[in-house]
Chain A
Amino acid sequence: MITTNRRSRILVINLSLLILMALPTLCDAARWRTCGGSPQRWSGERISIHPAAVSFGSDPRLAAALRYSVNTFFNRNASEFDFRIMDFDHGNFSTRNGRNQIAFTADDIGAPAVAYRTTRCYWWFFAVRRGIVEGDVLFSNRSRWDFGNQFQRRNITAWRGRFRPFYTTALHELGHVAGLSHESRVYNIMGSDPTHLNATTNGEYLPSVGEDAGLGLVRLYGRGNQDDLAVTSFVRTGASGEYSAHDFGLIRDTNQGFVLKWRSYPVGRRFDVARGQLVDVPFTFENPGGVDHRNVRVSFYISANMNISDNDIEIGSRAINFLFDSPRTVTTTLRIPDGLVFGGTYYLGVVINSDLALEEDWYHNNTAYHPIRIRG
């Protein structure tokens, strides 16, 4: 937070100077398999899943992490589709036992986690009979997982930590069980899941099904009853095989177009900026809730810490449309204020729905930032 007297010396940039550039994006992007021209999906919208007692029953913290993944993160998707966690399953694992199981294994499964899906697809009486009939998820207990109940960003690989967030991988694999395939074209959880994250206050991260996978689920199961907007400093940087690749967005000098010098920093990429410099700052805006909103107020701030709020120095604002179609990486031109201390580290942040004109089901994912350092 920056003090009020310093704030008074800061130039609040005129909106007329702001240039908003939306990178080319797709309207709703998702992939799934079909049988006879119709999507392979479950016949119902609420599917039971059985956690293995040997994996989750012996440690209540793991069971709680699974509950978070399913009840709090996955089921907060834009569609009607939900998973329901059942009592602990004491049987062995099998992809052919008719039970949807979720468990850890010490076996080499070739990846940190794998989803197994059994579908039916056959012809009878001039029609195709189809559907998902069983889905299972195995996590490798050889991987380094973050189950942290503190959701500390510094622990996970996206922010230079050593651990993979269990929550994002669980969302990805449950997406497969629900019927989604990998998606490489946009920023989404069915791409590279460990970097599909929001940053909340107090150094925490927040997993989410997100807009794109949510839209895929809506296509398969119909729309639910959520209203949520989100923003993140991650952007899609390309595709690796079937997965979209994500990383922190790059800040550029507006006039020259070059990427500002940066260094990897435990709380994100820290860019070197100069006082008074015009910079193009990217953020990815999502509409995970499924309700279209137009002209949503988005405000940009300079903050002395990662908790971006309207107590910080506002350096610009504008309206953005949050349509339920695809995550949008939007670059905004902003002017670095003159009153910042040389050599100081600040956070160039954004708050969406900053005037609280919309009532959302979730506000935890409404801020994002890029660390900056003021060049001497």
Chain B
Amino acid sequence: MLKRSDFVFHGEVTKIQYSDPAGPANSISIGTGGTWAPILEGAPHTFVTLRVLESLRGRTKSEEFVTLRFYGGPDGKGSYYATSLDPTFVMGERQILFVRGNGTSETPLVGGHGGQIREFAGGAYSSSGVALVGLNDNRRDPQLIFDGGLEPSLSYRSYPAPSFAGLRMRDDFTEMIAESGLSETAAWAEYENNAPREIVEFLVEEPVTAPGTALSIEDLLAQIRLTAQRVTKPRAGFISQDPYQPFSFVEHKLAAGPKRTTRKPTDEYDPDRWSASTGSVK
């Protein structure tokens, strides 16, 4: 993972902002006292600013704060956009991040959530809150070993709730207001007075399993420092992103299927191959 990173650092989350490519005139931070989520017309993105506590690989141009840009987040209209590679960020939390392609990749961490180690009570945890219990004995390229259940304090994501104006842009919400019989003003007051300012989505597991005993974050940092001396310098530099500037975003272009496959030109699929019981393996 170190080899594939442009920049590896131990940092502390100081700001989480949401914006879209058009420009974040209404970008906001969570935890600032009950601010609703900004209404985004374009693809929602999350900007995470961290204070660099220690740079472990790559240069930061002596910046004390760096900002990473991720695809996804709340659109301010009641929807949340996520990918299966998403890491988790919580205000004030300390993390070790293995960054790659900030500003060009939609999830600029090596392996997505795999490039994030979260610090909790002095221990190291995965993005979803599974304890890092050790490293394997591959001295050249140690692999991280995780085990156990989710640490409850880490297994959630939170983001600012949509404003009433944002929700009014949803057809289903408009229908619910109509069904409630409330006037527009009464519905607005109802929402403003009672709706929580923050949405919290928990990651749950069945059964609930005790978290593993986490490796100390200091031990992990020591191991990373040691390993970083043995790997070559990163090829690409790190560029911090500016949440207050417009940025380019292009939806993924579709492509034909891959060339490098095991398919043979003469192959033909048998539609009934697996479709029915064969009666017996015997």
* A interface list, Cβ under 8 A from B: 26-35, 39-40, 52, 54-56, 58-59, 61-62, 64-65, 67-68, 71-73, 92-96, 103-111, 114-126, 129, 133, 138, 140-150, 152, 155, 163, 173, 176, 181-185, 200-201, 206, 216, 219, 238-242, 308-311, 351, 356, 360-364, 366-367
Q: Return A146 CB to nearest CB of chain B, in Å.
A: 5
Residues on A with C-beta less than 8 A from B146 are 184, 238-242
| Pairwise interchain contact A149-B267, C-beta atoms closer than 8 A | yes
* Interface residues, chain B, with chain A CB atoms under 8 Å away: 43, 78-85, 101, 104-107, 111-114, 126-128, 130, 143-150, 161-162, 167, 170, 172-173, 176, 180, 190-191, 194-196, 199, 201-207, 209, 251-263, 267-271, 273-275, 277-282
25 residue pairs of the A-B complex, CB under 8 angstroms, read: A29-B205, A31-B203, A33-B203, A61-B263, A72-B275, A92-B253, A94-B251, A96-B43, A103-B254, A104-B255, A116-B82, A116-B83, A118-B81, A120-B170, A123-B195, A129-B176, A140-B258, A141-B255, A141-B257, A145-B257, A147-B257, A149-B273, A163-B261, A182-B84, A185-B148
Contact A366 B281, CB 8 Å, known A148-B263, A163-B261: yes
Whether the pair B274, A206 counts as a contact (CB closer than 8 A) is: yes
By beta carbon, the residue of chain B nearest A166 is: B261
Q: How far is the CA of A33 from the CA of B210 in the complex (A)?
A: 19
Contact A61 B269 (CB under 8 A): yes
Given A241-B113, A364-B281: A185 and B149 interface contact (C-beta under 8 Å): yes
Which residue from chain A places its CB closest to the CB of B37 in the assembled complex? A122
- Summed over the interface, the residue pairs from A and B with CB atoms below 8 Å come to a total of 266
Contact present for B254 and A118 (CB under 8 Å): no
List, in ascending order, chain A residues with CB within 8 A of B279's CB.
Answer: 363
Interface centre among A61, A94, A105, by most chain B C-beta atoms within 10 angstroms, is A61
A240 to chain B, nearest CB (A): 7
Shortest Cβ gap from B249 to chain A (Å):
11
Neighbouring B residues of A133 by C-beta, 8 Å: 79
**CB atoms of B180 and A125 under 8 A apart:** yes
A61 touches B267 (CB 8 A): yes
